[in-house]
Structure formats: structure tokens, C-alpha cells
Amino acid sequence: LAHNHLESAYNHLKKAVAWDPNSPPLRHELAVVCSMTGRSRDAVDQLEAACRLDPNEAEYAYKLALAWNEMGNLQQTVKALERAVGINPRHARAWYNLGLARNQLNQPEAAIDALLRAESANPNDPRIPYARATILARLGRLEEAKTAASRAVELQRDFAEARQLLDQLP
């Protein structure tokens, strides 16, 4: 049943975009439905169009990054995330995902920098210091890793992974 509703939404949004091809919000909504229905390439196309139509909207660039990541294109993911944080330097989710992507690209220092920016923008999200702690631990920077993992636990007492990391650090 839900799939039928998504297909209906997809068809309606396709028509709406055809009627108003210069509407970034319509393209964004269509991209979300495309992503939910497995049309990743269409989602990228719609979000690229939304970014062209409204180049100052960080959320469109951020969602474009997520769509590229869905397709497994890490280089384009990073490019779109860099665009998002360039538009909005306080976009915590974009900084966080940029940190994760840079870590996947084996750029740990750049990843840590991005995660610090994410934490500055959203100091209450325990996932951010935890992600930083895992990278720092892997680099052998154990005191910094302990501090970051402790911060994650401080923010969320029942954060099992952060507690486990703290227990494993010497």
C-alpha cells in the first residue's frame, strides 16, 4: 500500500515539475520521492536542477550529497557537501557527513576538522564526538579519543558504542 502512495506521489510530482520546471522546492520533493522509490539517478538529476535554480540553498546541496552517496559516488558526495557548508558554514549535518566521507576517503585529518566544525555547529549531537573519537583512536591519538568519547557519553549516557570505545581505550 505504501508503495502505491509513493508511486502516486511520484506521478503527481513529475506532473507538477513539468508544469513548473523552475521550482526548486518541487524538484526537491520529487527527488525525495525518487530516492524513496529507488530512482537514485533521477533524485540526483532533480537535486542538481534545484541547486542550479537556487544556488544559495544549502539544503539542496546537502540532499544532493546524500543522493550521490546513495549511488556510491563518494567524490561527488564530498563535492556536494563542500558546496553545502560553503553556502551555510553552520550546517552541522553537512559537516558531520563530510567528516564521515573524508574518513572513507582515508583523509583522517580532514575528517577530524570537518567533525570539529560539525560539533561547533551542533554541540549536543553525541554522534559527532563519537565519530571523531573512533578516528582519533585509529590514529593512536588516545587521549584525544578518550576526551571525544567521554563527550559523547556525557551527551547520551546510554550510548553503548561510545561506552565500549571508552572501555577499550588504555
Integer CA distances (angstroms), 83 to 19, 40, 59, 91, 159, in order: 28, 20, 10, 11, 31
User: For position 38, which CATH number holds?
Assistant: 1.25.40.10
Structural domain contains residue 86:
yes
130 domain-assigned: no
Question: How far is 77 from 69, CA to CA, in rounded Å?
Answer: 5
pLDDT greater than 90 at residue 165: yes
Flag whether 78 is in a domain: yes
Residue at 157 is within a domain: no
pLDDT reported for residue 4: 73
**Residue 118 covered by a domain:** yes
The arithmetic mean of pLDDT across residues 60-72, rounded, is 97
Q: What mean pLDDT do residues 112-127 have? A: 98
Tally of CB atoms within 10 A around 113: 16
Is the predicted pLDDT of residue 166 greater than 70, yes or no? yes
Closest CA to 163 of 149, 145, 144: 149
Q: Is 144 a member of any domain?
A: no
Is residue 1 predicted with pLDDT exceeding 90?
Answer: no
What mean pLDDT is reported for the chain?
A: 96
Q: Domain span at residue 69? A: 2-122
Give the mean pLDDT of 55-81: 97
pLDDT of residue 80: 99
Confidence of residue 151 (pLDDT cuts 50, 70, 90): very high
In a domain, 149, yes or no: no
pLDDT at 3: 63
Q: Is the pTM of this model over 0.85?
A: yes
Asked if pLDDT for residue 2 goes beyond 90, the answer is no
Mean pLDDT on 47-73: 97
Q: Is residue 83 part of a domain?
A: yes
Q: How many structural domains are present in the chain?
A: 1
Mean pLDDT computed over 42-67: 98
pLDDT on residue 57: 98
Q: Supply the DSSP symbol for 123.
A: T
Confidence band of 85 (pLDDT split at 50, 70, 90)? very high
